Amino acid sequence: MKRIKTARGRKISSTRWLERQLNDPYVQRAKAENYRSRAAYKLLELDERFGLLKGVKTVVDLGIAPGGWSQVVRRRVPQSKVVGIDLLPTDPIEGVCILHMNFMDDDAPERLEQALDGPADLVLSDMAANTVGHPQTDHLRTMALVEAGLEFACQVLRPGGAYVAKVLAGGADHDLVAELKRKFTTIKHAKPPASRKGSSEWYVVAQGFKGVRD
């Protein structure tokens, strides 16, 4: 295990983060395989379990930065069209249209639909709200993103499409699960192996969109 000496001016927490990065096999693998982040393996593992990318032609990547998930889509389905959005700057990816704006802006959904120019097969959301350390508040902020992503997904998905979103430990709450069940045929929660053991993140995977638009 590689150890980092605590440099003058560097917080202990920063040193621990550096050590974790240096000793993380997914970080090392991402560098070797030219993925922009270790998060790419979360989507790869979810795809292996749920077949998310099978036959997809059009994909939306909400919270695209730094671009690892879109890289996975383009590598697995080279002919796919991908539209991504993020407030953070994201370097160009071949075959991907990137909107540099906040998904929660009022005009963001319309801008995404215009870029799609047709229905989507898959809406992916790796968006995460900035945590404040208060579990209930963090949960509410994360669920707000999941719900906004779901509302958008139901506007753009073709019948049979899928929606995947990051949630926190415990998964989607009861009301959201009920809404997902109303609009999709199967709902699963999953924690891919690439998610760090100490992380509270899970993913909700909703497949088989029923075409319910309200």
**Which residues, 6 or more positions from 197, have their beta carbon under 8 angstroms from its beta carbon?**
none
Note whether 174 and 17 are within 8 A (CB).
Answer: no
**Which residues, 6 or more positions from 69, have their beta carbon under 8 angstroms from its beta carbon?**
39, 40, 43, 61, 124, 126
**Which residues, 6 or more positions from 23, have their beta carbon under 8 angstroms from its beta carbon?**
1, 2
Closest CA to 38 of 22, 52, 51, 27: 27
Closest CA to 56 of 110, 99, 113, 119: 119
Note whether 180 and 200 are within 8 A (CB).
Answer: no
The phi-psi region of residue 63 (left if phi > 0; otherwise alpha if psi is between -120 and 50; otherwise beta) is: left
Name the catalytic one among 2, 11, 54, 166. Answer: 166
183 is catalytic: no
- The three-class DSSP label of residue 107 is coil
Looking at the annotation, which residues are catalytic?
166
